[in-house]
Amino acid sequence: MTMLTLVFLLLLLAAPDAAAGPLDHPGYAKAFSCSACHGFAGNSRSATMPILAGMNTAYLKKALQDYASGMRPSPEMEPYSKMAIHLGVDDVAGYFAAQTKQPTPIAADAAAVARGRTASQVCVACHGPAGKGDPAKNVPDLTGQPAAYLAHQIQLFKADRRSPGDPALKQLKEVMKAVPDNQIADLAAYYSSLR
Amino acid sequence: MNVTRRQFLRTTGFGVAAVGALGGCAPALKGDFAPKTGKRVVVIGGGWGGATAAKYVRLGDPSIEVILLEPNKEFISCPFSNLVLSGIRTLDSMTFNYGRLRGHGVRIIHEAAGSIEPAAKRVRLGEGWLQYDKLIVSPGVEFQYEQVQGLREAGDRVLHAWKAGPQTVALANQLQSMQDGGVVVMSVPPVAYRCPPGPYERASQIAWYLKTKKPRSKLIVLDANPNVVSKTALFRKAWEAYPNLEFRGSNKVVKVDPGARTVTTELGDTVKYDVVNVIPPQRAGTIAVDADLVGADKRWCEVNHVTYESVKHKDIHVIGDSTIGLPVPKSGNVANAMGKISAAVVVAMLNGRPVPQMPPGNTCYSWVSDKEAIAVVNVYRIDNGKVVQIEQKLTPAQSPAVAANSLGWAQSIWNDVIG
């Protein structure tokens, strides 16, 4: 290292840090419990845990409220949703909405993606041709989510085990019931592969 | 996270300083061997709590220098290590290096901290010392070998396997080498100890292994506590599949004799074994005891429920299994939560900002066979400066779905701690 480089580095070391830190977001620390499963800033790297980064605020709020009330059954998410609501659901959901989504790093099988693309016509009416959903109708963005998570949700819809009795999901469940079991993994792979 | 050019160069600058100070061997650690130039946090212990805290201080404020003292070169997860005993997973699958923590700009020194000098705000290391502005201590547990007669003298002939590592593999090998028809004895220490459901998950895994591979063998669980401490009904239900598992509550093991291959309980019963696993009684890691961070019981560290600052010494924050007083289990998930919270607190304090009031949460999975798991979740709030539980929820039954969730949890939380 030349002396000039060393001086340059020392000058940088001495420079004050003017940038605002993550603590400035009211939801940063309130979302600490979430990162154990959903990853830092909601960018899950796991096969089964959904990515929360960039998720529509209203959709995430409804999910947390449905988990907390027991309408959407989950022994893990019911207590954590109550905690998020206690801490301030707007701050928590707002924090994740403000994060940039990094799609799952788990690559989907190319043949399954191709089969899923063909089978995806049933999903387009609600989730759109790009799978990005429709925030105005609280329809979620499916792109880049881990395939195993998406497949599990389709199974829950088919068996009416996700939010049983929720009128908002009635039509979706009818569509999902028509999806053959051998297409579930293909659909999940396709939407997981979209960016 | 976006890393600015300034942050990157600053991190590199730290690297240059580290080479200068630590490039040589042990004698370099003399005097103040890494003079402090800005705000500095020293973290003692690179387990679930300490590694998380070190990473999250850097994420919260990259202008703070973070030095992590951890003698081990690899992080080995205790959660999931019971599955090594039944041969379902390898220890390698839960072993990680500290490389990605370095990527966050954490300076790691693979040496054990010698002692803490709270008044001088420094940590002794070899013949030298390190100054700190804030110290985060996450020393884990130490075993009270002296509570079981003959245990210290037994050395490696009686394994605890309660810190995942070589002993885990050695105990798995002993189980594999045992002849069919043998008797495995394991002891559970009195509360409080690391991972309340851990011994019962271990019992389930050993019973499953014996039932599957050595069907004429049996497992005797000698528990110092009157009943299963955690997820009681779910473990009892799971054990209906294991008639080879005999549970004896209120049977505290007080003596082990590896020559005669027997253990003796407080009641005076002597039980013969072919393979033994004694999980000894526990206290906070030795450095916490030596630094007078423990309470009158000389076992555990009492802390402020919001800041994790020791009630005995200012600017020293204690997290993880070595703490007592919060209504939380000594679990990896809680240590990870405390790591994040204490990091945010320390960052706020060093920047003169309001301290966040954040409670921890706990998720704890236990595998009861090769395919099925159970779980408990505890969530908390802060009420008048104290952590209180909002709710505890158990899975209704054991299932492969819970096991699948546990794999997702592990993948994510290992990344949160060390990724």
CA atoms of B157 and B278, how far apart (whole Å): 11
Contact A39 B9 (CB under 8 A): no
Domain B145-281 has CATH 3.50.50.60: yes
Contact A21 B347 (CB under 8 A): yes
Which residue in chain A is spatially nearest to B53 when comparing CA positions? A32
CA atoms of B163 and B143, how far apart (whole Å): 10
Name every chain B residue with its beta carbon within 8 A of the beta carbon of A18: none
Partner residue opposite A44 with nearest CB, options B359, B394, B412: B412
Closest by alpha carbon to B231, among B253, B204, B206, B210?
B204
Question: Checking DSSP bridges between strand B65-69 and strand B106-109, what pairing results, if any?
Answer: parallel
Q: What are the tens digits of pLDDT across the range B345-386?
A: 999 999 999 999 999 999 999 999 999 999 999 999 999 999
Coil, helix or strand at residue B183: strand
CA atoms of B152 and B281, how far apart (whole Å): 13
With a CB cutoff of 8 Å and minimum separation 6, the contacts of A166 are: A66, A71, A72
B364's torsion region: left (phi>0), alpha (psi -120 to 50) or beta? beta
CATH fold of the domain at A24-102:
Cytochrome Bc1 Complex; Chain D, domain 2 (1.10.760)
Residue A85: the pLDDT is 97
Tell me phi and psi for residue A38, to 5 degrees: -100, 5
Partner residue opposite A82 with nearest CB, options B37, B62, B391: B391
Contact B59 A22 (CB under 8 A): yes
Q: Is A57 on the interface with B (CB under 8 A)?
A: no
Residues of chain B with CATH 3.50.50.60: 5-71+111-142+283-357, 145-281
Length of chain A: 195
pLDDT digit string (tens) for chain A, length 195 residues: 455 455 444 444 444 443 456 778 999 999 999 999 999 999 999 999 999 999 999 999 999 999 999 999 999 999 999 999 999 999 999 999 999 999 999 999 999 999 999 999 999 999 999 999 999 999 999 999 999 999 999 999 999 999 999 999 999 999 999 999 999 999 999 999 999
Strand partners, B186: B221, B277
Distance from CA of A38 to the nearest CA of B (A): 7
Neighbour-count burial of A18, counting CB atoms closer than 10 A to its CB (0-12 exposed, 13-18 middle, 19+ buried): exposed
Tokens of A9: 């580095």
Distance from CA of A125 to the nearest CA of B (A): 30
Contact A83 B9 (CB under 8 A): no
Two domains, one topology: A24-102 and A105-195: yes
Tokens of B216: 């004429």
Tell me phi and psi for residue A85, to 5 degrees: -70, -40
Indicate the domain borders of chain A. Answer: 24-102, 105-195
Q: Is A46 on the interface with B (CB under 8 A)?
A: yes
**For the domain B5-71+111-142+283-357, what is the CATH superfamily, name and number?**
FAD/NAD(P)-binding domain (3.50.50.60)
Which residue in chain A is spatially nearest to B346 when comparing CA positions? A23
Contact A36 B393 (CB under 8 A): no
Domain A105-195 has CATH 1.10.10.10: no
Distance from CA of B360 to the nearest CA of A (A): 7
Q: What are the tens digits of pLDDT across the range B252-299?
A: 999 999 999 999 999 999 999 999 999 999 999 999 999 999 999 999
Distance from CA of B145 to the nearest CA of A (A): 33
Residue B29: the pLDDT is 75
- Return the sign of the alpha-carbon dihedral for residues A135, A140, A144, A145: positive
Distance from CA of B58 to the nearest CA of A (A): 10
Inform me whether the pLDDT recorded for B94 exceeds 80: yes
Partner residue opposite A37 with nearest CB, options B341, B393, B412: B412
